[in-house]
Amino acid sequence: MKKTGKYDVVALGELNVDIILNRIDGFPEIGKEKFAGDMTVTLGSSTAIFAANVACLGSKTAFAGMIGDDSFGSLVEKSLAAKGVDTGYLIKSGKYATGATIVMSFGEDRANLTYQGAMDHMGFADLDRKLFEEAKHIHISSIFMQSELKRDLPEVFAAAEEAGVTLSMDTQWDPVEKWDFDFKSLLPHIDIFMPNETELGHIVGTSDLDAAVAAIVPYLKRAAVIKCGSRGSLLVGKDGSTHMLPSFLNRNVVDAIGAGDSFNAGFIHGFVKGLELPECQRLGNLSGAVNTTAAGGTGAFTSKEAFEKTASEVFGVSLSSRA
Ligand SMILES: Nc1ncnc2c1ncn2[C@@H]1O[C@H](COP(=O)(O)OP(=O)(O)O)[C@@H](O)[C@H]1O
Ligand SMILES: [Mg+2]
């Protein structure tokens, strides 16, 4: 890993806006119109939650992604900057609109509709190559929502490897459920692979976690960390060693929106600090747990002090001085 870099972390790709409609009168029906009782328009996307929270923990973070030259694009840019994420690498497309997800909440359940917009059209050729010199680490999430970036992964890997930049990836869910992810050729280029257990099962083609882990081990570059919801996470080393770490259980979950992204933020914050992988995993579990104490993906990450206060008051844990 590079010793230095202008940015500890560059988050690459996925950016959009969430239009959250709450207290809906009933399920949308073709040919009819209904009321929602409440609406919030906010920065969305799993990669943006990751970027905001890793910056909150103290990693110097930049975002390289494509937005439209429109009002949603300005919302994305301003919201990232307000979270302390450098926006200098954002690309403003004159051709494509900023994407959005309409989130319809029915009680505890949600129905989402996403227009990918600009993020689907950002390929390797759009990237300012300087970012590979300035980054120590690159994180990619939601690869199935970004067809051009997915197509160009070999170029991204080559540029990162040439510049000595480490790379992590959380695939997230595949909205078309084809799970077209050639793990045998891709995993050897990903230092830290971080899907959840369901996603890993779909990628490998088995619902048995042990079998899925055995299938990926020969292709790991360094490690995988598999997120298992309230059960915790499983760290898998390139040598086949495994370490299941139970979660810091929160019995009063506000919601688990973004818990996986916050896990990634905690883990990668430790990784770029040079902590040992089990310590990164512990920081991941703690960040996922802290995430569940407040609404949405960034509610519990208002400052590092607030994070440490929750960690100590709710979970009885203090951060090591190295984190
Ligand atoms: N109810 C919970 N209490 C404490 N920690 C949790 C809870 N739910 C999730 N976490 C933590 O957050 C991490 C990520 O959550 P998970 O739901 O597995 O991710 P994803 O959103 O990617 O599916 C888990 O590995 C766990 O450590
Ligand atoms: Mg996830």
In a domain, 232, yes or no: yes
Distance from Cα 35 to the centre of ligand 2, integer Å: 30
**Which ligand 1 atom is the nearest neighbour of the CA of 245?**
27
In a domain, 113, yes or no: no
**Which ligand 1 atom is the nearest neighbour of the CA of 248?**
4
Q: Which residue has a Cα nearest atom 27 of ligand 1?
A: 285
233 lines ligand 1 (CB under 6 A): yes
Which residues have CB less than 5 Å away from ligand 2 (the ion)?
A: 260
**Confidence (pLDDT) at 3:** 62
Distance from Cα 91 to the centre of ligand 1, integer Å: 32
In a domain, 233, yes or no: yes
In a domain, 228, yes or no: yes
Backbone phi and psi for residue 40, each to the nearest 5 degrees, phi listed first: -130, 135
Domains identified in the chain, total number: 1
Distance from Cα 237 to the centre of ligand 1, integer Å: 20
DSSP letter for each residue of 85-113 = -B-TT-EEESSSPEEEEEEEEETTEEEEE
Helices 209-216, 197-204: crossing angle, 10 deg rounding? 60
229 lines ligand 1 (CB under 6 A): yes
Ligand lying closest to the C-alpha of residue 197: 1
Residue with tokens 């994305």: 76
Q: Which residue has a Cα nearest atom 16 of ligand 1?
A: 229
Distance from Cα 172 to the centre of ligand 2, integer Å: 5
In a domain, 194, yes or no: yes
**Pairwise CA distance, residues 18 & 130, whole Å:** 30
Q: Which residue has a Cα nearest atom 12 of ligand 1?
A: 288
226 lines ligand 1 (CB under 6 A): no
Domain limits for position 223: 7-15+45-96+120-315
In a domain, 226, yes or no: yes
If you count them, how many residues does the chain have?
323
What's the token pair of residue 100?
Answer: 């959005």
In a domain, 188, yes or no: yes
Neighbouring C-beta atoms of residue 313, cutoff 10 Å: 10
In a domain, 32, yes or no: no
250 lines ligand 1 (CB under 6 A): yes
pLDDT in single tens digits along all 323 residues of the chain: 666 789 999 999 999 999 999 999 888 899 999 999 999 999 999 999 999 999 999 999 999 999 999 999 999 999 999 999 999 999 999 999 999 999 998 877 788 999 999 999 999 999 999 999 999 999 999 999 999 999 999 999 999 999 999 999 999 999 999 999 999 999 999 999 999 999 999 999 999 999 999 999 999 999 999 999 999 999 999 999 999 999 999 989 998 889 999 999 999 999 999 999 999 999 999 999 999 999 889 999 999 999 999 999 999 999 888 88
- CATH number of the domain that 242 lies in? 3.40.1190.20
Entry pTM:
0.96
